[in-house]
Structure 1
């Protein structure tokens, strides 16, 4: 069950982390006025809305495919005609077993969440905060929590890969998860009309590791 709500855990930890780091990044670089800094934070928080849309659309698609391709094995009552079930939920209500193509939602979600966390914590490479500030303590705490959560997702991903679903279902789940990450952070977020990257307009070769943890 913990994995089923993986997006919720990721969302609620990234929400304060992105809010604080995006505002502090804009402030430390003297990029915007206070009002525009808030706008930049809201823009970056758009990544969570995009992630929520990806999670909802993909999991709904997986369920639709499973219902479309599945059949129910349920013991009917003697003398009654065999019932046809349209969905997995209907089948399970009658204590049946649904056999359909079940794309691994766990592999999709865990790979996507882990990659998203890795992308977002990269902002610390360009962030400058006073060593003794309370904000630094809060951001450090969120950073450690996100790293711990990413470690859990990797561990749960390995467990899913070893013990659940067949190879094709897991492979498709991973491909969709990585495609969602690549399509956003490596393609769309580079465009002007997008939530943007954690480190805007900062090429990889010029990053300064000023945030010592």
Structure 2
């Protein structure tokens, strides 16, 4: 009779069940803004919504005479509901009307003074990104193989210059030409140039300064990119280590502080625009066009490697 086999079961013989690997948090979608970017981008429609509701609910603003042709309140100081409702207020004349100059000046100051942007490569790529958003600004507000997109949209939607008929003049296809002829630009959909400029410019500075300054301390999340082989990786893998220095002390620096000031003033003037100028739909289209420009500049390169090789990513 065979004896019972007392040898331990193979399952018990010096074998350990491997401990499960900790689950990695899901990567951010490279086709969409990161959660932090969504938070800051959401501030723009919230500011516009608050300003629009304030204009509707405020007895002072609601009772003030409004000129629907110029999309602003009557400019007589005694009738305007606020100093900021007048187009000749100093903030509008000296800041918004020269807005892209202020955006560019603050950006140059940051690039030339921040230690992480000392390498020629980093500065060139930052300059390329500035060139892209500047081209967006030019195409929308100034020139797009003729009149800018805002003026083209106004004409396509049925608007025009009253001087064309009243003065017998033809070919006044831009708001600037119409005003120069003593006419008024009316009748069509007027994409808010102020909203477009203020959102595009401040969003540009937030991307350029935020990812450089906040990458180590504030922005713990990662941007993801699509590699040439289609794999989704963290953007830090593409970080060039040459010509980089550790950032110590005052990370913003004077250039960064000036850029933050320009962003803050832009948001304030965006609120004033939301309260005193344009219809809600004109403000909405100005916002959407600006967000499209930011998406092309900062999100598109994350999933198109060929573009990313040219324009780079801020802080990488």
Is this a same-fold pair by TM over 0.5? yes
CA, structure 1 residues 89+176, in 2 after alignment: closer, same or farther (shift >3 Å)? Answer: closer
User: In the TM superposition, what whole-angstrom CA distance separates every residue of 1:25-66 from its partner, at most 9, and x where no partner exists?
Assistant: 277xxxxxxxxx313321222111112111101112112223
CA, structure 1 residues 113+130, in 2 after alignment: closer, same or farther (shift >3 Å)? Answer: same
CA RMSD of aligned residues (A): 2.7
> Is residue 163 from structure 1 mapped to residue 279 from structure 2 by the alignment?
no
> Is residue 39 from structure 1 mapped to residue 121 from structure 2 by the alignment?
yes
Cα distance in structure 2, aligned partners of 1:158 and 1:150 = 13
1:149 aligns with: 262
User: Are the equivalent residues in 2 in contact too, given 1:120–1:198 (CA < 8 A)?
Assistant: yes
CA, structure 1 residues 5+75, in 2 after alignment: closer, same or farther (shift >3 Å)? Answer: closer
Q: Report the TM-score, using the length of structure 2 for normalisation.
A: 0.51
Indicate the SS of the match to 1:194: helix
Indicate the SS of the match to 2:189: coil
1:83 aligns with: 168
1:205 aligns with: none
Q: 2:190 aligns with which of 85, 88, 102?
A: 102
Q: How far apart are residue 84 of structure 1 and its match?
A: 4.9
Q: How far apart are residue 74 of structure 1 and its match?
A: 4.9
User: Are the equivalent residues in 2 in contact too, given 1:62–1:102 (CA < 8 A)?
Assistant: yes
Q: 1:72 aligns with which of 136, 161, 165?
A: 161
Indicate the SS of the match to 2:278: coil
> Is residue 25 from structure 1 mapped to residue 138 from structure 2 by the alignment?
no
Q: Report the TM-score, using the length of structure 1 for normalisation.
A: 0.73
CA, structure 1 residues 172+129, in 2 after alignment: closer, same or farther (shift >3 Å)? Answer: same
Q: Which has the higher helix share?
A: 1
CA, structure 1 residues 17+93, in 2 after alignment: closer, same or farther (shift >3 Å)? Answer: closer
Structure 2: tracts of 5 or more residues without a match: 1-92, 142-147, 217-244
Structure 1: tracts of 5 or more residues without a match: 28-36, 201-213
Q: How far apart are residue 184 of structure 1 and its match?
A: 1.4
2:213 aligns with: 124
User: In the TM superposition, what whole-angstrom CA distance separates every residue of 1:125-164 from its partner, at most 9, and x where no partner exists?
Assistant: 3473344xxxx59x51112111111111001101111111
User: Are the equivalent residues in 2 in contact too, given 1:119–1:198 (CA < 8 A)?
Assistant: yes
